[in-house]
Structure formats: C-alpha cells, structure tokens
Structure 1
Amino acid sequence: MEMARRIGRCCRPFVALLALCGHAAVAFAQLQPGEDATATLARADLTKTSDHQKFVDTLVRLENDSTRLTEKQRAHLQYLEAWQVAYAGDYDAATPLLETVAGSSPDKVLRFRATATLINILGIGHRYQEAFSRLTELTDMLPAVTDPQARLQGLGEAAQMLATAGQYDLAADYAERMIQSTPAGDSACKGTFIKLHAMFRGKRIDGTDDRYARGIADCQAAGENLIANALRADVADTAIRNGRPRDAIHVLESHYAEVLRYGYPSLASQVESLLAQAYWNENNTDAAGKYASAAVKSAPGGEYSEPLAVALRTLYLIARKQGDFQSATQWLERYMQADKGYLDDVSARALAYQMVKQQVVSSRMEADVLDRQNQILHLQREVDRRSIETSRLYIVLLLTVAGTIALWLIRTKRAQLRFMRMARRDSLTGICNRQHFVERAQQVLLASHKAGRASCLILFDLDHFKLVNDTYGHSEGDWVLLRVVAECRDHLLQDDVFGRLGGEEFAILLPGVDEADGMKRAELIRAAIAAPPAGGPSSARVTASFGVACTRRHGADLDRLLVVADEALYEGKSAGRDRVVVAVAHSGAGKARAPVAPLASKPLGLARS
C-alpha cells in the first residue's frame, strides 16, 4: 500500500521517479528487441487490476523506451500512467493528466476512456456537479463507441456514479448493460460486482444471495481478485448485520494480506473497518482496535467515508469501555465530524445529480427553443414569399411560442413540487414529518370512510428513551430511532401512512384494517422493536408502548383518533409499558381495553418516557 501511495506522489514523469519508490530492479528495463509496443500496452491495460504489480513494471519498461513509441502508443501510455496515479490515490495529480488525454489525444477511444476515468476521479474528489456533467457527455457519446473495452468502461463508470447518487436501480440497469456487452469468452466480473453492489446498497439483496458466491468464483477465475475481495466485503457486512461476526472475520482475514498487496486505499479501509466491527461484536477489543486504527490510516486523505466513520466510532467505544475518557472524547469528536461529513457528502451527491439533471433538461429545452426559433425564421422567410399565408403563419408562430413557454412552466413547476416533497420528510428517518402525516392521514381516512372500510390508527412512544441519549449520547439515540423505523417498515404495506410526530413519538395509519387486525399489526411491531438488535452500530435496546384506535368505534375524525389512541398509549405506560392497548371508548364514555400481553419476555429496556 505504501508503494502505491508513493507512486501517486511521484506523478509526472511517472517512471523517472519510480526507482526512488522501491522499483530499482525494473527502473532501467526496456522493451525487448522485436517486442510489439501496441500489444504490450493492450496486455497491460487488461491486467491493471488483476496483476497490478506486473502492470506497473510494464509501464516502467515502456516509459524507459518511449522514444520508440509512435504518437498513438505514447498517448495510450500517457493514459495508463494517469490511471495509475489515480489508482494510487493522488487524485489532484491525476485530474490534469486525464484532462490532457481527454482533450488532446489523437485517439477518440482514449479520449472517451480518459473522460470515463476523469468522472471517477471527480467523484472521488467530491466535485460531483462536474462529475455528473461529464457523465452526461459520456452517456451521449456511448451509442457511437464500438470498442468493447471502452464501452465496458463507460458503462461501468456510469453505473458507479449513479450508485453514488443513490440511483441504485438505474445503476443496476447500466451494470446489466455492461454484463450484456461483455465479449464472449471474457469475464463479466466487473459488471457483476457493480450490479450486485448497487442492489446491495439499494437493499434489494444482501450478501447471502447465491449470486455473490458465483460472482466471487467468476472473478477469481478471471484473476480479478481485487473485485472478488470487494464482493467479499458485502458478504461480510451482511454477516455482521445478521449477528454472525465470526463468519465475517473468516471471510475477510483469509484475504486481508491480498487486499493490502493491491494498495487500493478505499478497499483496504473498508475491509479493516468491517474487521474492526466484527471483532468488537466478538468482544475482542485488542483486535477491534488494531483493525480500526488501520482503517483510519488506510482511508484516503481528505475524505469522509462510511468505513472511516465506523472505524472512529469503534475506537471511541473501545476507549470508553477501557475507561480512557480523554481518548474516548477525542475519538467521539472525530467520529461525529467524520459521520457528519459522510452524511453531508451523500446529500451533496444526490443534490448534484438532481441539479445536473435539471440543467440537462433545461439545456435540451433551450435547444428545442432555438430549434423552434430557427423554424420561426424559416417561416418568416416563407411569409415574405407567400404573403397570402401571412395571418395563418403568425398563428402557428404564436402557438409554437406559447406551447414552448407552457412546457417550460410545467416542467419548472414539477421541479418545485419535487423539492416540496423533500420538505415533507423527517430529516433523520426519512418518513413523514408531523404536518405531512396529518395531511396524508386525513386524506386516506376520508377515502376509506367513503369506501365503507374501517381504518386503525396506531400511536406509539418509545419507553424511557431519554436514558438512551443520557447514557450513550444523541448519536446513539439517532441510531436507535433509525432501527425502530426500519423494523416498522418491515411490517407496513404500501398504502399505510407512517410518520414521526416528534421526538420518539410515531404514528401509523392502517387503512382497510379492522380493530382485531390493527391490534395484531401493532403487536408484531412492538415485538420487533423490543427484540435485541441484530448487529449494527447500536447495542442499545428499547421498548415501546402502543395505543390503537379504530374508526368503527371512534369515527373517522383524525383529531379524535389521535386523542383516544394517545389515552390508550398512556394507559399502556401506566400498566407497565412495552404493550399494546386498544382504545375501547373515549375518556368521556369509558376506559381503554386491558393491555395486550407482550409476545416476548420483558426486554432489558433502556428508558425514556
């Protein structure tokens, strides 16, 4: 890994300084007599990741004998050198090298490939708007690209960039096109990885899917061990989330030395961070600390990433467990900074994608306007020749302009509505906030009432939640809230309305559900929340008290349902918490039904209210 970093710092001329970077044995090697430089470049290009050391040594030989190369061969070498600088993590140095190739190479295929690599570098360098702008250019060029390797690279970069913006389904589609474009007899390893990882991030599959085992085997058979280890990282991540840390350790440690040999900082940091999590879950603080420290050192400089944040959090937990509160405070501050930086970066990617998408739409509309303006000029010339049709042509012109303006206004309004929808979501959990929940719930209640269907309102509040924040901190409390929301979503249907009313209080409207089924659904959710966490960053356990109110008994007025459900909820709290209480009648007419006994035994319960 240190070798790779040194290569990145060496920059241009690439090979002249390579001898200073630990490659004295090959620094003065040259091409063999009669060796075909074009074929050598092609072989090096194909083995960039499968045999990286051989790739670097080949670049050394080619640079030492560059006077024998043609202009086209030198351009190819220049692109591969720029790729290596980027691979080593020196993105600031790689960017101008790639821009030179993309802007001046005599080979249009190399220009396309340099643009694809530049997109990757811009994304890693957090220059997301530039990256997505370049991606638009790349996708426009794709139909005209016939070179198989260049086409695969372009599709791959498109898929990966879309995945960084959270467009996982679209990314998987591009990756599938990449797989379909793979020449017969070649490995589809890279496309398979991108597709599986996009589906993994989009929570369509997890590491237990059979396609992961097949993908790892295919990549190993093709010599793409770097990508095979990236797939193993997803498998290990799933094992940790499913409470099987020992399986994750077995998957990763047997290939850890191989990961380090490749000198790819991002993958090394990810693998080390996962090992740190696994060992922490195994209560092996020494090993967890070793790998967490390694993950922090391996993380690319100047970047905030999920592995870095998780590693820093692990170091904080270890220091706290050991009673080193000074170190714990320092690690916590670094973790909170890295976690916030990573989450801000995720939002920046998504926003940049939407902004560029809007710019593309606007540019195309402007092009349409210009095209129509040209049509108008042509029509005006026709008017000069055919005065008899003057009035009719003016009508056509006015309608054309009016239609263009109307289309522009409609699309602008749609963009505004998209941003309004974003404002209706709770910033932490992503579910409806209080105002939007009330609006949607009233609409759904009215529709169900008109259709003659019953509906149930579930109101629940986490028990003694304040102790989670007081004991572990607000960051831990946020993780608990996210887990509670995830557990609830596993038990909701498409038409159900789910919202956070504030703090640790949530509400769920179940349309078309009667009182018995509403009680059963609430009990399932209660049991899921009370269950021990299955891995993940938070070890805190909470319970919740539930109040259920149904329209058959209390009418379809949302305000009244909220009141009686709230009374039932607090009836459950008074009865001992961690239970479901169904509201039988309003406070003025009777009491709530006796609480439903929990399905599971009482949890350890960290309290709030």
Structure 2
Amino acid sequence: MAAMAWCLLVQPGYAATSITNPGQFLDQAESLRLKDHAQFAQMLAQIHPEAPRLSEAEQWHLRYLDAWEDMFNGNYIKSETEFHQIIDRSGDPVLIAKASGLLLSNLAFNRRYEEAFALANHLASSLPEVKNPESRYTLLTNLSQMLDFGEQTDLAVQYARMAEDAVPPGESLCRPFYLEAAALYNGKRLTSASSELRRAIDVCTAAKEPVFANGMWLVLASLHIDENQPAKALALLDQVAASVRTAHYYPHRLSSRVERAQAYLKLGNDGEAKKAALDALAISQPDDTSEWLMDDYQVLYQIEKQQGHNAAALNYYEHYSNQEKSHLDDIRSRALAYDMAEQHLLMQKMETERLSKQNSILTLQQTLTAKAIETGRLYIVLLVLVLVSVILWLFRLKRSQLRFKQLSCLDGLTGISHYQHFTSEAGRALQLLEKKHGIACLIAIDLDHFKQINDTHGHALGDAVLKCTVAVCQQHLRSEDLFGRLGGEEFCVLLLDCHREQGMAIADRIRATIEATLVDVEGGVMSFSASLGVACTDRSGYELQRLCKDADAALYRAKRHGRNRVIADTGSDDLQDATA
C-alpha cells in the first residue's frame, strides 16, 4: 500500500486549450497528470516548441512537469537530477516544495532509504516556515507516504490528518483520506468494517479519482480474505476489474490477480486459483520483488503440494523463500535507515545545542567578567545538561544495539535458532516445565549420508537439502516448540508438554515426510533420509545436557540399526523403534 501511493499526485482536470496564456496552460496540464495522462503528455508536447518565449518562472514550471513525467515513466535517475536543479536554482517556494516531495518518493523508489529519511526529517523541520497552501499540502502528503513506507504508522496517520486540515482550493479530501486508511492498513489496524476505509472509498469515488478508489477497494478485498470471507472478496474484485484495467496501474493489476488467487484457494477452487496466480506472474518482471509476488508463489506452492507435485512445489517454495528474504531484507533496510536518520538528527540537535551553549558561555564571559562565581556556577549547570544529553544518546544507542543483537540469534542459512540460542532457550523452558511437573521430549535429527550428498552434488545442493529439512520439520511443529540447528546436518527439537508416545509419533511423521521429499538435481530428482533419536523427561530428567546425551544415544542406535528410523532412549539396553 505504501508503494502504491507514491505517484498518485492528482488534481482536478481541465480540457486542453490553445496557448494564449502559458501560465494558465501549464496549470491546466498539471491538473491532468493522472486524471487524463494522455492529454497531459499531449499538452507537454504542445508547449515545448513555445519554451523559448516563456518567462523564467514558466520555464521552471515546465521543467518541473517534465521531471514529473520522467519519474512517472520510471526514469528515476534523470528526474532526480531535474528535481535537484529545481530545488537549488528555481527560487520558487511552491515548486521547491513540490520537487522536494517528489524527490522523497524518488529516493524511496530506488531504495536509497538513508537519504530519503534524512530528507524527510529536513522537510518535517521546515514545515513551520511553509505558508503556501499548495506547498504545505504537498509536503504533508509526501511525508505521510514516506513515514508509512518506513512503518511509522502513528506519524503517517498524523501527517495524513494534518493534510486533511490543509487541503488547498481545487483539491478533494480523497488523497489524505486514502493515506490515512493506507497507513492504518499497513499498521494492521484496519478491518473491513472500519469507518476510515469506507470514508476513503466514498470520497475518492465521488471525486472521480479512480486510482485511489481502486486502491481502497483492493484493500477491502484483502481484508475480506484475511477475515476468511473469500466469496465477498471475489465479488468485490469482479466489481472493480474493469476500472483496474482502464487505469492500467501496475501495482493494482498485480495485487488484484494475487488476491483473486488467494480467494479461490480459500474456496477450494485450485484450478482458478492457479490460473489467477500464473496470470499475476505473467505480468511481473523477472527481477521483481514484492510482498504480492511472495504471496503469489505461496499460493502456487500450496496448490502443487496438495496435488502431490513435489518437484513443482519445491520450485515455487524456493521462489517464495527468495521473495520473502528480499521482502524482509527490504524491511530491515528501511528500519535501519529510519533509525540511522533519527540518530543522525539527534546528533545534529545535540551539536546545535552544544554550539548554542558555547555561544551563550562566550557571551556571558564577555558581559559578566565581574561575576566570576556566577559564571562558574553556570558552567557547572551547562556541563550537567551536556552530560545528561550524552547519557540519553548512549541509552538510545544501547537500545539500538540490543535490537541488532536479537537478529544474531538465528542460523544464517536456515533461519532457525543456532546452537547457543537453542540451548539457552531450551534450558530455560525445561526449568519452567520442571516447576509445574510437565513433560517434554527432545528429538535429535541427523541427515543420513549428508557428507556423500555434499561430495557428490556440491555444497549448494547440500544447503538446499538443509533448508528443505527445516521446512519439512516446521510443518509438524507447534508454535511453542523449540527448533534449532546444532551444526552441520544436525538439528534438535524440544517438544514442550509432549508425552513419549506423542513425541515418537511426531518424530516418525518428520522422518516419513523427509523420506518422501524430493530435491531437484541435474538430470532428475534425489531423495534423502534422516535418523532420529528421542529422549523424554520422564526418564532422562529435566537437565538439558542429560536429555541431549540420551537423545544422541538413541540417534546413534538408529544409525547402527540401518538409518532412516526413529528410536527412543528407554534408559536400558532395550530399543523403542517407531518404524517397527
């Protein structure tokens, strides 16, 4: 939703006229940008031969419209250069505000998030000096979009509401209502019955701004899907299909197809779901990465998996994983850029305060030389203030470091807990379980002949096997279970509140699913297997080290007895074999 909002800068339309008044002609052209884009482009072509006789202000206005057109057509590098020239050289406050707002969007499109958030902070600080209604409205709407893009929901809503109070003549409330609803949706604060959503739909429809209205209708369809009302979502998608086709706005064309696939999947119509999902892929670019494509590949993966097409399912799962990784990396990049921009702004404020305080001290020294004692006391107060400011800054820095530390708890290849984090969390969980006299099972998993897979097919396929193993295991685990990679091809699962029989059953389901899983190799497919050992607290106690030791002992027994089996440690020489 944040990406959909970037280029939707629309004003009421006018019909093209002869160029008797160039200034009025440019204003009319600007108002048609998205209302009637073909007419807008035609008017630009009509006035360009007249450029030499335009006044300096009109020439800058024309250059602004050219930059907007370049950005609309995806030529971000050229438009960025033109926006900088307008900001630095035009001297027109209205054009500078508009160009600054669009430059903000341009930087975000190119994922230059640090520069974008730094510019957003600068524009936010300049708002009190912006008096022109159109300039202020442009800055407020672009700031709302940028902060929504940075997942700062409260600030995005705040700026959208400020824009609602600052709508200039000739504009409707469609855009600020749209921005507020979009921010609430991205912040997971919107339902299909929310008044903000219905208000945006009604106002944008009445204002005849179809791109904004279509965006809100698609949000409503997505909410119907999330609320398990796929039939309502399909009816709504059929209702807006013609408008989406006419507007020809790529994000809406893509999202409407993906939502249609999700709705059909929920209704159990796999054929139509697959058709809609493949239609979405057909209009996407090969290198596209987006949350919509991630959802699309997930639909295709679920369909192929249900139909038993393991090779196709694995292929779509790999695409889904790549899209998910790109999406998460992009979210982290935005969050990190926002935090860095905030830290930089804080440092600038501290530096400004420090310089201000130094100037105050110098002034006091020049004017109050006779009052040395009072001056000394003032130094102490100022130093205390600086110290407090530094302490606050260090506190914020430490908080940022703790956030990054959380990301270090996961295994880089598989995305599950690494050895240290798993043992730490498992130890704590067992201590709590012992206090309430619960029971748990520990499953040790080791892939059979994994070294042979690496030696024969290469480490890339070995990594794919590890990822596939993790995906298989996660299908059979609950949210409260702990899952970690101990190293190499060894994994460990702690099943909380799970009896021995349940643990053996879960372990055997994992083993059977791994055995049935196929991985693509050159010239065909390859299967692999795993041996599993199970230990339970009813015999091994609640000490993690003892549980691991008993589970490993059972695992090695499984290896010795032919591999691809589940054996539980019984505390004696007897074996309990789940595969028997």
Distance 1:336 1:364 in 2: 42
Shift of 1:332: 12
Stretch of structure 1 that moved more, 118-127 or 374-383: 374-383
Aligned match of 2:571: 588
Q: Which aligned pairs between 1:407-426 and structure 2 lie closer than 5 A?
A: 407-426=392-411
Q: Which aligned pairs between 1:336-485 and structure 2 lie closer than 5 A?
A: 347-378=332-363, 380-381=365-366, 384-388=369-373, 392=377, 396=381, 399=384, 403=388, 406-427=391-412, 431-443=416-428, 445-446=430-431, 454=438, 456=440, 459=443
1:401-436 CA distance string (max 9 Å, x none): 655555555444444443333222333665533322
Q: Which aligned pairs between 1:49-128 and structure 2 lie closer than 5 A?
A: 49-57=34-42, 59=44, 75-128=60-113
Letter in 1 for 2:107: L
Does the 8 A contact of 1:86 with 1:94 survive in 2?
Answer: yes
Does the 8 A contact of 1:229 with 1:259 survive in 2?
Answer: yes
1:485-513 CA distance string (max 9 Å, x none): 98789x546xx866555578766668xx7
1:539-580 CA distance string (max 9 Å, x none): xxx999998877676544222344456678999999x9999x
Q: What is the alpha-carbon root mean square deviation over aligned residues?
A: 6.3
Does the 8 A contact of 2:108 with 2:116 survive in 1?
Answer: yes
Distance 1:225 1:133 in 2: 32
Aligned match of 2:281: 292
Does the 8 A contact of 1:76 with 1:110 survive in 2?
Answer: yes
Give the secondary structure class of the aligned counterpart of 1:282. Answer: helix
Letter in 1 for 2:350: M
Q: TM-score, normalised by structure 2?
A: 0.64
Query: CA separation of 1:211/1:476 partners in 2, compared to 1, >3 Å: closer, same or farther?
Result: farther
Give the secondary structure class of the aligned counterpart of 1:385. Answer: coil
**Structure 1 residue 186 corresponds to structure 2 residue 186:** no
Letter in 2 for 1:171: T
Q: Which aligned pairs between 1:592-607 and structure 2 lie closer than 5 A?
A: none
Distance 2:63 2:542 in 1: 71
Query: CA separation of 1:186/1:395 partners in 2, compared to 1, >3 Å: closer, same or farther?
Result: closer
Distance 1:479 1:240 in 2: 29
Distance 2:42 2:130 in 1: 30
Does the 8 A contact of 1:457 with 1:507 survive in 2?
Answer: no
Letter in 2 for 1:37: Q
The partner residue of 1:222 within 199, 204, 207 is 207
Distance 2:261 2:461 in 1: 21
The partner residue of 1:306 within 284, 290, 296 is 290
Give the secondary structure class of the aligned counterpart of 1:305. Answer: coil
**Structure 1 residue 174 corresponds to structure 2 residue 173:** no
Letter in 2 for 1:199: G
Stretch of structure 1 that moved more, 284-293 or 79-88: 284-293
The partner residue of 1:135 within 115, 120, 132 is 120
Shift of 1:83: 1.8
Shift of 1:94: 1.0
Distance 2:424 2:430 in 1: 10
Query: CA separation of 1:227/1:404 partners in 2, compared to 1, >3 Å: closer, same or farther?
Result: closer
Does the 8 A contact of 1:252 with 1:275 survive in 2?
Answer: yes
Distance 1:337 1:426 in 2: 17
The partner residue of 1:37 within 11, 24, 27 is 24
Stretch of structure 1 that moved more, 266-275 or 100-109: 266-275
Q: How many residues align?
A: 524
Aligned match of 1:198: 186
Does the 8 A contact of 1:276 with 1:292 survive in 2?
Answer: no
Distance 1:501 1:131 in 2: 41
Distance 1:359 1:276 in 2: 44
Give the secondary structure class of the aligned counterpart of 2:187. Answer: helix
Query: CA separation of 1:229/1:400 partners in 2, compared to 1, >3 Å: closer, same or farther?
Result: closer
Distance 1:483 1:179 in 2: 44
Give the secondary structure class of the aligned counterpart of 1:427. Answer: coil
Distance 2:443 2:138 in 1: 51
Query: CA separation of 1:198/1:70 partners in 2, compared to 1, >3 Å: closer, same or farther?
Result: farther
Does the 8 A contact of 1:160 with 1:171 survive in 2?
Answer: no
